[in-house]
Amino acid sequence: MKKSNVQVIGLSAFDDNYIWVLRANGYAAVVDPGDAAPVLAHLAATGDRLAAILLTHHHGDHVGGVGELIKNCINCGAAPPMVFGPAAENIEGVNHALHGGERISLESLGLELDVLAVPGHTRGHLAYFGATIGVDGALFCGDTLFGAGCGRLFEGTPAQMHTSLAKIAVLPAPTFVYCAHEYTQANLRFAIAVEPDNAATQTRCDAVAALRAKHQPTIPSSIGLELATNPFLRWDAPAVVQAAASRLGHQPQSATDVFAAIRQWRNDFR
């Protein structure tokens, strides 16, 4: 597949959100603009024209800026952006409703993205995978997979979230993972509680502490790094199965049971 020349940059929003901007040919697409202000500042500074908005789910910290961004395009006399989002969720401004399984085309950026249905955090949650971005592809996964963690189950079941994470786990290992929050350091404290003997987790913890001490982002990570260190993708690892068994007081009956026990423990973990 032909590589795109798309560049990905991160804008900070609120306390710990990232709004990812995909840029090429003088156009931009933004993922989960919870706040319009940093996006408008980016557009003003670069001259990029806003071609598309990609939404993963309906929470306010992901969609709060959509109305203002559309209004701004119209006020500038530009074409309003394509707004992609989950058909299963009621989000104002969405004009391209998606179910998952589609391939969408952002022609002005010369980019195609595969849409994945990843319900669990919310019932219609989507992720966007660009196989041609960067060297080995990029995944924009909102609040489904985090650095060393995963989203809370607000609307879905553990079985749904486990299935969603399993879809993500089979993407190529070098794929960059662009999630929507900077939660990695806190998540790693929990990951070490689950797997105290996982050397890769300890190494990542040290690297992340060094980055955070300098106020630098720990995102993007990669599928390979998450597979090695994220307890929510490691339902097959003996130490994780053992940790789930001691939480449950009996052997888990399935990988979903392992995932559910670890997710429940995370909710109670301080």
- Residues whose CB falls within 8 Å of the CB of residue 170, separated by 6 or more in sequence, listed in order: none
- List the x/- string, 42-61, binding to Fe ion by CB under 5 A: -------------------x
Which residues contact residue 257 at a Cβ distance below 8 angstroms, ignoring those fewer than 6 apart?
244, 248
- 162 is known as an active-site residue: no
Shortest CB 150 distance to Fe ion, Å? 12
Burial of residue 8 (CB within 10 Å: 0-12, 13-18, 19+) is middle
Q: How crowded is residue 21: how many other Cβ atoms within 10 Å of its Cβ? A: 23
Catalytic: which of 42, 58, 59, 125? 59
What does DSSP assign to residue 107? Answer: G
Would residue 59 show up in a list of annotated catalytic residues for this protein?
yes
Write out the H or E segment, with its range, that includes residue 203.
helix 199-213
Burial of residue 69 (number of CB atoms within 10 Å: 0-12, 13-18, 19+): buried
Distance in Å, CB of 147 to Zn ion, minimum: 15
Active-site residue, 121 included: yes
Phi-psi region of 14 (alpha: psi -120 to 50; beta: other; left: phi over 0): left
Among 35, 89, 143, 195, binds Zn ion (CB under 5 A): 143
| Binder of residue 204, out of Zn ion, Fe ion, none (CB less than 5 to 8 A by kind) | none
Q: How far is the CB of 92 from Zn ion (least distance, A)?
A: 17
Footprint on residues 41-60 left by Zn ion (CB under 5 A): 59
Q: 32, 42, 48, 57: which is the annotated catalytic residue?
A: 57
Matching residue, tokens 């989507």: 126
Pick between residue 127 and residue 243 the one whose CB is nearest to Zn ion.
Answer: 127
Residue 198-227 contact track with Fe ion, rule CB under 5 A, x = bound: ------------------------------
Q: In the set 89, 143, 182, 195, which binds Fe ion (CB under 5 A)?
A: 143
Which of 32, 35, 48, 121 does the annotation list as catalytic? Answer: 121
- The question of whether 35 is a catalytic residue gets the answer no
57 labelled catalytic: yes
Residue placing its CB nearer to Zn ion in the complex, 4 or 160: 160
Among 97, 33, 98, 104, which Cα is nearest to 71's?
33
| Active-site residue (options: 125, 162, 181, 257) | 181
Least separation, in Å, of the C-beta of 151 and Fe ion? 8
Q: Are the CB atoms for 3 and 112 separated by under 8 Å? A: no
Sign of the torsion formed by the C-alpha atoms of 185, 178, 157 and 242: negative
Query: What does the binding site for Zn ion look like in residue numbers (CB under 5 A)?
Result: 59, 143
Query: What does the binding site for Fe ion look like in residue numbers (CB under 5 A)?
Result: 61, 143
Residues assigned a catalytic role: 57, 59, 61-62, 121, 143, 181
